[in-house]
A and B are shown apart, each in its own frame.
Chain A
Amino acid sequence: MTGIYLVNTALFVGAALVLIGIFSSLVATRFGVPLLLVFLVVGMMAGQEGPGGIVFNDYQATYFVGSLALSVILFDGGLRTRLSTFQGVLAPSLILATLGVLITATVAGLAAWSVLDLSPIEGLLLGSIVASTDAAAVFFLLRTGGLRLQSRVGSTLEIESGTNDPIAVFLVLIVTELALSGETMPSPDLLLRFAQQGLLGAVFGLTFGAAAVWVLNNITMAGGLHPLFVVASAILISALTSLSGGSGMLAVYMAGLVMGNRPTRAFPSITGFHEAMTWLCQIVMFLVLGLLVTPTELLDYALPGAFVAFVLTFVARPVAVWLCLTPFGYARADKLFISWVGLRGAVSIFLAAIPTLAGVEHAPLFFNIAFFVVLFSLLFQGSTLKIAARKLKLALKSSTHKLSRVEIDIPGQVEQEIAGYPIGSDTIILGLTRVPSWARPLLVVREGNIMDKAEAGALRPGDYAYFLVPRDRLPRLDSLFRESPDVARRLGPLFGELSILGATKISELAGFYDLDLGDAPGDLAIGDWLAQKLGTQVALDETLKLEGARFVVRRLEGGRIARIGLQLDAIMRVEPDERLLQRIEEEVDELGRLRRWLRRLSRRQRRRKT
């Protein structure tokens, strides 16, 4: 029975730690503390010297958890990297991620070797451990910090941090091996191994990534299994590549890249699932690393740790950035900022566990210094990002706009998907006059009723709007459905609309505009004519399209249309097109299912309201 008791205790403690971390994060983010630091600290508090008192020194288990977590995180990084949006910065970012890591590792290594009591190869090992910027930390601080950067700088940082982890991982693995074999100097053999690992990793990743996409698209599996299939494939790819002598981390990243940039079935559910998985992995990783460290021991390494952190931040990283990016014409401010955002994270601590596992000499030194560097980076660089961006004039207007989107996978179809957005009173789309032509409005759910877009007319706060949209345009559509405080200000009456009194006789009006109103009698009031045309559903914002113009109901008085807006050019909010729905019904035989689902959704919403 003690076995079962132990398992339950472990489950209890683990889950409790995650929950404590989540709740502390609620408090901590208010003070601008990086969230990942919170989990690290929670881990330390629970550890052997904190109130938790849990003694955890299992590097083997840490490595296992770390590899697993890192595979998932890196795969997710690949999945989210849209190559098409990164075309201009791909080359500089990749050079920074490969050559840049080597330069950073070498410079930091040289400094460590010259000051600490280490051999050159051990210095290089230390340099490699702290050389990579952490994708999780960078993405997280850039995105959730509400910081919007100029696209070139932001994209460079994103790609770099996503791609340099695998490079650093196999650099560390190789240098560890060298250190174990008793070599003290880097040899040409190193470069060869480096190339082999990289090549195999890339080939395995691309091949298996494409294979996984093929399986997803061609083999029908039960709906809920798609994301699980992907996670399992990612871990399999990573492990298989490592077993075959390639870099598993690079492979898994490449596989994610393939999947994220190819039309893939069930993509929304996969990314949704992966987002949660990535969170979990990061939390677990930081918790475990926090548990692993012994704070008093950490203090012993404070001085060398501070030295390495200093050299890394102020010398190694800037040197690498300058050497790699200057040929591409980056401005000085860009390079300064990219240097400053060389955030280190869990990957470095995880990498520091490798020498310990392998039994390299001075292993505690590597681990504690790496830990110190990460703490320093998260604390100082992490909390000064916004100030740095503002000082260097790289921050765009802050956009912490909220976005909630529902994605619906269209069965048997991978290029397009259906995206649904709630419309709030400040949603940007309300301030715009039209929806981009590539986004096809499908349905609007208003007050529990499902309308096609012709019935719905212009979107209103409280609506849910659903669009058919090419997958690669989704981020652009998202930007129209964020909340922005400017919208309310811009929401006055539409500009460019001529106003016409409802009582105007058709003969008078037609004389002015040559509008083709069919054989309407000349002495009929235009408001009454419009009411007839619109049928029973006369309401504000109802629209009637004519050749070259359109009428919009602007004011109702005593059931009659008192004022009409005459819009002259092709500005429209949601263009009515009845044929669209029909066409989609033909294209997508499962639309019925979607409709039932929407109806359920709206019913649920109504219930929530009451």
Chain B
Amino acid sequence: MELSDIISVEAVRAPLKATSKKRLLQDIADMAESVYGLPSAATYSALMEREALGPTGVGRGVGIPHARFGDVKQVKGLFVRLEKPVDFEAIDRQPVDLVFALFAPEAAGAEHLKALARVSRTLRSEAVCAKLRSTFEPSALYAILTEERGSQAA
């Protein structure tokens, strides 16, 4: 699975102004409605439900909030670069400014995990994150995310 399968340039937004994690997730839910037609309220509560199990801040300023609910038809993603990092209760306590949100249908099965792994593998690269932090241009951000990379192994 490639990131270009789950994200399009329309699904990238930057710079996004958000003052808190809740605000951010609300904005993402609104984006999900405008880009993928997902009901904003359902998306927001699904995301919050997942955060309640444990925050999805994976470290180094990256957050991967994700949700799985009935309205989603196929695995889709959104990418946001925040103007100012917000606290995300991440494992390394670093505020988050790069956010890749994922939505998966109830029946996605292994697809969901694969997509999550793909996102985390891409954003694990410090070089990729540095590039992402160098621009607010959505098309450039999209290009960096979907750029062909050789081995992604650490």
Cβ–Cβ contact A504 & B91, under 8 A = no
User: How far does the alpha carbon of A498 sit from the alpha carbon of B117 in the complex, in Å?
Assistant: 10
Q: Does A549 touch B at the CB level, under 8 Å? A: yes
Cβ–Cβ contact B91 & A568, under 8 A = no
- Chain A residues contacting B68 (CB-CB under 8 Å) are 511-512
Cβ–Cβ contact B124 & A549, under 8 A = no
Cβ–Cβ contact B53 & A509, under 8 A = yes
Q: Mark B101-123, 1 if CB is under 8 A from A, else 0.
A: 00000001110111011001101
Contacts A433-B154, A568-B117: A493 and B59 contacting too (C-beta < 8 A)?
yes
Inter-chain CB contacts under 8 Å: number: 74
Q: Does A494 touch B at the CB level, under 8 Å? A: yes
Determine how close the nearest CB of chain A comes to the CB of B145; give it in whole angstroms: 15
Contact check: which of B53, B60, B110 meets A512 at CB < 8 Å?
Answer: B53
User: How far does the alpha carbon of A496 sit from the alpha carbon of B56 in the complex, in Å?
Assistant: 9
User: How far does the alpha carbon of A512 sit from the alpha carbon of B120 in the complex, in Å?
Assistant: 17
Q: Does A302 touch B at the CB level, under 8 Å? A: no
Cβ–Cβ contact B124 & A495, under 8 A = yes
Q: Does B64 touch A at the CB level, under 8 Å? A: yes
Cβ–Cβ contact B64 & A498, under 8 A = yes
Determine how close the nearest CB of chain B comes to the CB of A541; give it in whole angstroms: 14
User: How far does the alpha carbon of A460 sit from the alpha carbon of B79 in the complex, in Å?
Assistant: 36
- Chain A residues contacting B59 (CB-CB under 8 Å) are 492-497
| Residues of chain B in range 63-105 having any CB-CB distance to chain A below 8 Å | 64, 66, 68, 91-92
- Chain B residues contacting A432 (CB-CB under 8 Å) are 154
Contact check: which of B55, B91, B121 meets A569 at CB < 8 Å?
Answer: B121
Determine how close the nearest CB of chain B comes to the CB of A307; give it in whole angstroms: 53
Cβ–Cβ contact B112 & A568, under 8 A = no
Q: Does A231 touch B at the CB level, under 8 Å? A: no
Determine how close the nearest CB of chain A comes to the CB of B18; give it in whole angstroms: 21
User: How far does the alpha carbon of A497 sit from the alpha carbon of B53 in the complex, in Å?
Assistant: 14
Q: Mark B26-51, 1 if CB is under 8 A from A, else 0.
A: 00000000000000000000000010
Cβ–Cβ contact B112 & A513, under 8 A = yes
- Chain B residues contacting A495 (CB-CB under 8 Å) are 58-60, 62, 120, 124
Q: Does A474 touch B at the CB level, under 8 Å? A: no
Q: Does A434 touch B at the CB level, under 8 Å? A: yes
Q: Does B54 touch A at the CB level, under 8 Å? A: yes
Q: Does A571 touch B at the CB level, under 8 Å? A: yes
- Chain A residues contacting B50 (CB-CB under 8 Å) are 512
Determine how close the nearest CB of chain A comes to the CB of B72; give it in whole angstroms: 13
Determine how close the nearest CB of chain A comes to the CB of B104; give it in whole angstroms: 9
User: How far does the alpha carbon of A569 sit from the alpha carbon of B125 in the complex, in Å?
Assistant: 14
Cβ–Cβ contact A497 & B91, under 8 A = yes
Q: Does A3 touch B at the CB level, under 8 Å? A: no
User: Which residue of chain B is the closest to A568 with respect to CB atoms?
Assistant: B117
User: How far does the alpha carbon of A495 sit from the alpha carbon of B129 in the complex, in Å?
Assistant: 12
User: Which residue of chain B is the closest to A437 with respect to CB atoms?
Assistant: B153
Contact check: which of A496, A563, A564, A571 meets B123 at CB < 8 Å?
Answer: A496
- Chain B residues contacting A408 (CB-CB under 8 Å) are none
User: Which residue of chain A is the closest to B109 with respect to CB atoms?
Assistant: A514
Describe B's contact surface by its main secondary structure.
mixed
User: How far does the alpha carbon of A586 sit from the alpha carbon of B104 in the complex, in Å?
Assistant: 46
Cβ–Cβ contact B117 & A514, under 8 A = no
Q: Which of B54, B57, B112, B113 has the most CB of A within 10 A?
A: B54
Q: Does A500 touch B at the CB level, under 8 Å? A: yes
Determine how close the nearest CB of chain A comes to the CB of B119; give it in whole angstroms: 9
Contact check: which of A493, A509, A514, A564 meets B110 at CB < 8 Å?
Answer: A514
User: How far does the alpha carbon of A564 sit from the alpha carbon of B55 in the complex, in Å?
Assistant: 11
Determine how close the nearest CB of chain B comes to the CB of A439; give it in whole angstroms: 14
Cβ–Cβ contact B64 & A434, under 8 A = no
User: How far does the alpha carbon of A63 sit from the alpha carbon of B96 in the complex, in Å?
Assistant: 71
Cβ–Cβ contact A501 & B112, under 8 A = no
- Chain B residues contacting A501 (CB-CB under 8 Å) are 53-54
- Chain B residues contacting A511 (CB-CB under 8 Å) are 68
User: Which residue of chain A is the closest to B106 with respect to CB atoms?
Assistant: A511
| Residues of chain A in range 337-384 having any CB-CB distance to chain B below 8 Å | none
User: How far does the alpha carbon of A492 sit from the alpha carbon of B60 in the complex, in Å?
Assistant: 9
Contacts A433-B154, A496-B59, A498-B54: A513 and B121 contacting too (C-beta < 8 A)?
no
Contact check: which of A504, A514, A571 meets B54 at CB < 8 Å?
Answer: A504
Q: Does A508 touch B at the CB level, under 8 Å? A: yes
Q: Which of A434, A495, A504 has the most CB of B within 10 A?
A: A495
Contacts A496-B59, A504-B53, A508-B53: A568 and B92 contacting too (C-beta < 8 A)?
no
Contact check: which of A493, A564, A565, A569 meets B117 at CB < 8 Å?
Answer: A569
Determine how close the nearest CB of chain A comes to the CB of B7; give it in whole angstroms: 17
Q: Does A499 touch B at the CB level, under 8 Å? A: yes
Cβ–Cβ contact A498 & B56, under 8 A = yes
Determine how close the nearest CB of chain B comes to the CB of A125; give it in whole angstroms: 55
User: Which residue of chain A is the closest to B53 with respect to CB atoms?
Assistant: A504
- Chain A residues contacting B109 (CB-CB under 8 Å) are 514
Cβ–Cβ contact B53 & A434, under 8 A = no
User: How far does the alpha carbon of A571 sit from the alpha carbon of B151 in the complex, in Å?
Assistant: 13
| Residues of chain A in range 493-528 having any CB-CB distance to chain B below 8 Å | 493-501, 504, 508-509, 511-514
- Chain A residues contacting B116 (CB-CB under 8 Å) are 498, 568
Q: Does A548 touch B at the CB level, under 8 Å? A: yes
User: How far does the alpha carbon of A569 sit from the alpha carbon of B62 in the complex, in Å?
Assistant: 16
User: How far does the alpha carbon of A493 sit from the alpha carbon of B54 in the complex, in Å?
Assistant: 15
- Chain B residues contacting A494 (CB-CB under 8 Å) are 59
User: How far does the alpha carbon of A434 sit from the alpha carbon of B113 in the complex, in Å?
Assistant: 20
User: How far does the alpha carbon of A239 sit from the alpha carbon of B120 in the complex, in Å?
Assistant: 63
7 A-B pairs whose Cβ atoms sit less than 8 Å apart in the complex: A496-B121, A498-B54, A501-B53, A548-B113, A554-B91, A568-B117, A571-B154
Identify the A interface with B (CB < 8 A). Answer: 432-434, 492-501, 504, 508-509, 511-514, 548-549, 554, 563-565, 568-569, 571
With A492-B59, A568-B117 known, 7 other A-B pairs at CB within 8 A are A495-B58, A495-B124, A496-B121, A498-B116, A499-B56, A504-B54, A509-B53
